[in-house]
């Protein structure tokens, strides 16, 4: 088992561990001090095998109840947050109760946001079951919901008490979801570590062994933890993690309104190609590296092109919560393994690259 500590520089009381390994659910009690909690509510979704939920309930040794949500990004709404709040109230939860999110990024976001606001905030534990949530969404403390067609418009920053990444949960993960998770892994290489980028794009997601996956997840978690620990609330450095996300979030939100919704990693893959081209147009990234980026994503089995009206994408980009004073600033690449934040790009150039 590997253990990575997230140290929040501005608030050391929020430090928490991330455990990565196999068979971790069964020994949850030895990883986290559960005994200090009065009771727990497990938030999960319909895709999670009931045997997994039962294993967790047995291992907990704490009065608990379960809320099962529908699955999919469309569920990340206020209605589901209310469902969790109501479950917490109905189960008699108090300020010493714990929310345990067992599922992908959507479950982690809904359960985390509900916990961070219930009785002005109670603790939550993340047990991510998709590769994407394991390498990205479960750590860093961003929790929230989509509103008015805009990704993550409402949310909070609250760090979990711990993240438990049990690789066993990946054994039932559909291949499309596994590949989607690799988009964020590849992003970590692109923004921070060329050697890591070359490693994770050297073969297809499904060709990596379990041991190799543990190494990869650990490295991605470490890259993110190093960034988040220095800038929890995304004042500057954390924006590095947004490479591919300005266009990616617009594409993702639009795809949710269509009959072909993209997974988060798929939308981010398209976003990274377009923002890679933007980096090239602005003279930051060479033609050759831009081509390497695109080919790596194609080889990984991720989508790299889109067929959506440019005006609609631009409108979504304009309503991105990352914009300030109406300006669209991007995180772009200065080379593979090195990103740069706050690059102001005008509409003409965005249109051109789209
Ligand atoms: N997913 C990017 C971040 O957590 O900042």
At 179 the pLDDT is 98
**CA–centroid distance, residue 76 to ligand 1 (Å):** 17
φ, ψ at 324 (rounded to 5°) = -130, 135
CB contact set of 161 (below 8 Å; sequence gap of 6+): 16, 32, 98, 123, 124, 125
Active site residue 249: yes
Active site residue 47: no
Active site residue 142: yes
Nearest residue (CA) to ligand 1, atom 3:
241
Active site residue 288: no
- Say yes or no: 201 and 266 in one domain: yes
**CA–centroid distance, residue 142 to ligand 1 (Å):** 7
CA distance linking residue 177 with residue 264, whole number of Å = 9
For 154, the domain range is 2-173
Ligand 1 atom index nearest CA of 140: 4
**CA–centroid distance, residue 53 to ligand 1 (Å):** 27
Last residue of a domain, one of 134, 157, 173: 173
Which residues does a 6 A CB cutoff place in the pocket of ligand 1?
136, 140, 142, 238, 241
Active site residue 7: no
> For 318, what's the count of Cα atoms within 13 Å in the CB-facing half-sphere?
10
Question: For the residues of 41-59, what is the DSSP string, one character each?
Answer: EEEEETTS-HHHHHHHHHH
- Say yes or no: 140 and 183 in one domain: no
CATH of the domain at 105: 3.40.50.1970
CB contact set of 80 (below 8 Å; sequence gap of 6+): 69, 70, 110, 145
CA distance linking residue 11 with residue 292, whole number of Å = 39
Nearest to 217 by CA among 266, 169, 274, 176: 169
Active site residue 188: no
CB contact set of 301 (below 8 Å; sequence gap of 6+): 179, 204, 205
- Say yes or no: 159 and 224 in one domain: no
Instruction: Determine which one of 83, 188, 224, 239 is catalytic.
Output: 224
Are the beta carbons of 190 and 339 closer than 8 angstroms? Answer: yes
Which of 224, 225, 229 is the pocket-test mutation for ligand 1 (most atoms within 8 Å of CB)?
A: 224
Which of 128, 185, 241, 248 is the pocket-test mutation for ligand 1 (most atoms within 8 Å of CB)?
A: 241
- Say yes or no: 346 and 321 in one domain: yes
- Site of tokens 């709404």: 77
- Say yes or no: 327 and 240 in one domain: yes
Last residue of a domain, one of 123, 158, 173: 173
Instruction: Determine which one of 234, 252, 266, 275 is catalytic.
Output: 234
At 322 the pLDDT is 78
Are the beta carbons of 20 and 165 closer than 8 angstroms? Answer: yes
Instruction: Determine which one of 101, 242, 289, 316 is catalytic.
Output: 242
**CA–centroid distance, residue 231 to ligand 1 (Å):** 11
- Say yes or no: 138 and 257 in one domain: no
- Say yes or no: 122 and 256 in one domain: no
Active site residue 224: yes
At 64 the pLDDT is 97
Question: For the residues of 78-140, what is the DSSP string, one character each?
Answer: HHHHHHHHHHHHHTT--TT-EEEEEESHHHHHHHHHHHHHGGG--EEEEEE-SHHIIIIITSS
Instruction: Determine which one of 83, 187, 264, 280 is catalytic.
Output: 264
| CB-neighbour burial class of residue 202 (10 A; exposed 0-12, middle 13-18, buried 19+) | exposed
CA distance linking residue 345 with residue 16, whole number of Å = 37
Are the beta carbons of 180 and 132 closer than 8 angstroms? Answer: yes
Active site residue 242: yes
One digit per residue, pLDDT tens: the chain, 354 residues? Answer: 999 999 998 887 789 999 999 999 999 999 999 999 999 999 999 999 999 999 999 999 999 999 999 999 999 999 999 999 999 999 999 999 999 999 999 999 999 999 999 999 999 999 999 999 999 999 999 999 999 988 899 999 999 999 999 999 999 899 999 999 999 999 999 999 999 999 999 999 999 999 999 999 999 999 999 999 999 999 999 999 999 999 999 999 999 888 889 999 999 999 999 999 999 999 999 999 999 999 999 999 999 998 889 999 999 998 887 788 888 899 999 999 999 999 999 999 999 999
- Say yes or no: 331 and 182 in one domain: yes
- Say yes or no: 258 and 244 in one domain: yes
CATH of the domain at 197: 1.20.1090.10
At 223 the pLDDT is 98
CA distance linking residue 331 with residue 279, whole number of Å = 9
How many domains does the chain fold into? 2
- Say yes or no: 156 and 222 in one domain: no
- Say yes or no: 164 and 220 in one domain: no
**CA–centroid distance, residue 136 to ligand 1 (Å):** 7
- Say yes or no: 108 and 39 in one domain: yes
At 166 the pLDDT is 97
Instruction: Name the β-bridge partners of 67.
Output: 43
Last residue of a domain, one of 120, 150, 173: 173
Nearest residue (CA) to ligand 1, atom 4:
140
**CA–centroid distance, residue 47 to ligand 1 (Å):** 24
């Amino acid at each position: 088992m590997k253990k990575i500590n997230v140290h929040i520089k501005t608030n050391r009381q929020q430090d928490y561990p991330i455990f990565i390994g196999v068979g971790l659910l069964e020994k949850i009690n030895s990883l986290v001090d559960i005994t200090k909690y009065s009771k727990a509510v497990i938030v999960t979704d319909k895709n999670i095998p009931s045997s997994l939920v039962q294993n967790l309930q047995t291992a907990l040794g704490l009065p608990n109840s379960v809320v099962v949500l529908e699955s999919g990004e469309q569920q990340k709404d206020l209605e589901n947050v209310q469902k969790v709040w109501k479950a917490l109230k109905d189960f008699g939860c108090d300020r010493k109760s714990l929310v345990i999110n067992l599922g992908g990024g959507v479950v982690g976001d809904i359960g985390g946001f509900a916990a961070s606001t219930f009785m002005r905030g109670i603790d939550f534990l993340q047990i991510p079951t998709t590769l994407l949530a394991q390498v990205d969404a479960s750590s860093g403390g961003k929790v929230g919901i989509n509103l008015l067609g805009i990704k993550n418009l409402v949310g909070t920053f609250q760090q979990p008490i711990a993240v438990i990444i049990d690789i066993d949960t990946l054994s039932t993960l559909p291949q499309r979801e596994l590949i989607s998770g690799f988009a964020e892994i590849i992003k970590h290489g692109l923004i921070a570590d060329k050697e890591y980028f070359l490693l994770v794009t050297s073969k297809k997601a499904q060709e990596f062994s379990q041991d190799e996956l543990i190494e990869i997840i650990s490295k991605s978690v470490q890259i993110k933890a190093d960034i988040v620990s220095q800038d929890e609330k995304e004042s500057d450095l954390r924006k590095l993690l947004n490479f591919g996300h300005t266009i990616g979030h617009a594409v993702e939100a639009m795809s949710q309104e269509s009959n072909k919704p993209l997974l988060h990693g798929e939308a981010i893959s398209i976003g990274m190609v377009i923002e890679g081209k933007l980096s090239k147009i602005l003279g930051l990234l060479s033609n050759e590296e831009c081509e390497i980026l695109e080919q790596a994503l194609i080889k990984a089995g991720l989508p790299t092109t889109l067929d959506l009206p440019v005006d609609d994408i631009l409108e979504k980009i304009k309503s991105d919560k990352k914009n300030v004073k109406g300006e669209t600033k991007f995180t772009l690449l200065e080379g593979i393994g090195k990103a740069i934040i706050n690059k102001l790009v005008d509409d003409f150039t965005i249109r051109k690259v789209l």
